[in-house]
Amino acid sequence: MEILRQQTEHQLRINPAYQLFFMNYNEKSVDAFIRNYARKKATYITKGPSYIKVQEQEELKYKVIAEEALWAIQQKKLFNLQCQWRAEQVRLKGIDHCTQFQLLSANIQHCPYITPLSRSEVNLYIEYLKSGHVGDLFWIENWQDYDTFKADYLSHQHEQEDEPLAERIPTWYSFYDLHMGTDVLMGLPDTRGDKEYRYRAAFRKKRKEAASVTNRPHNPDDYRPFLNSYDTDIIEHFIKEYEDSKMLKYFRAVESVAEKFEQTTKVDDAIDILRSAEEPIAIDGSDDWKESLILAARKYELQQVAKFLPAVFQEYQFRIENSINYNQSDTCKRKAEHAFEMCEIAKTQIIEGRQILDKKRDMNF
């Protein structure tokens, strides 16, 4: 996704055809649009096909979510292992730096450092689905985002005990920690991360000192309209003008999913879900009937995922027992490719930093 974002942003900045479009808008707003559209296009390309597939195979969505739940369990186990590795409590053969956990995450189905799934772990996830405190199941971009989760964890230490954890920490992680007693792991020191930061900072400092610094000329007042980087109508217009029909289809698929979560169409979705249910569904009383419908539909969906979990776990066991690998999705392949590139960059920066500070060119620190 990051590679796609960078490629798109580069083209938006150098392609003359795009410049004709941007000339109609306030210069100060164009840069934000370029950055945001590049990010969105990467999302459309990576997520669009899978969303279209889900839309075309609506009847399979609960099984798909249940399968993803299996890997959410494994992601949490890997994250806990990352906390221990960063604290230098454990060593992992072949793991030299923190960024490699992103690569392991992208291929979580075949991660060699964590134990296979157990029935008790699946039962815990089913309990989580029934807890009434379930966060997003689909929208976790980076399960191994240690820096973000650690920052929220430390911030929480200064809040009241009854305050919820910051939203960026997956609710599944918090639920797991509460029931498995592993919440202390995030409080471990980031010994390895601090060492890496020191070397990478030295590398960046030297590169910055070597780079030439140029002052941008002062721009006069620009009275052209601002280009709103979050206006989906403008983005759609831009795609129609410069992209192909497939990208337009991806755009509509991805944005429709986001809109369903953000706009009042939540009610329509809830009604559709409740209408398609093959069993009676109780709707709790509330001052807001719309909220009651949405909550009832959400509860029903989570129940369906919970029902599918034993079956997908049985399939998982069959695969393990018969050495049948899971195929890596196109999205996971792209994540793995990006993670590999980031690993190479991180390792290069660390080694160069080691040379600057310690006069050594290895990862033994």
Alpha carbon of 364 to those of 95, 341, 350: distances in Å? 11, 21, 11
Q: Which two tokens stand for residue 224?
A: 């052209």
The three state secondary structure string of 173-212 is HHHHHHHHCCHHHHHCCCHHHHHHHHHHHHHHHHHHHHCC
Residue partners of 81: CB distance under 8 A and separation at least 6: 90, 92, 113, 114
pLDDT of residue 42: 93
pTM, rounded to two decimals: 0.68
pLDDT of residue 217: 56
Report the Cα–Cα distance between both ends of the chain, in Å, rounded.
31
Alpha carbon of 158 to those of 164, 175, 186, 308: distances in Å? 12, 20, 15, 40
pLDDT of residue 256: 82
Q: pLDDT averaged over consecutive 10-residue blocks of the chain (365 residues)?
A: 93 93 91 93 91 69 88 97 97 96 94 96 96 77 90 76 64 95 95 95 89 59 80 91 93 81 70 79 80 86 92 95 88 88 95 94 92
pLDDT of residue 275: 80
pLDDT of residue 51: 80
Distance separating alpha carbons of residues 149 and 166, to the nearest angstrom: 9
Distance separating alpha carbons of residues 42 and 7, to the nearest angstrom: 9
Eight-state DSSP code of residue 132: S
Distance separating alpha carbons of residues 111 and 94, to the nearest angstrom: 12
Distance separating alpha carbons of residues 261 and 237, to the nearest angstrom: 23
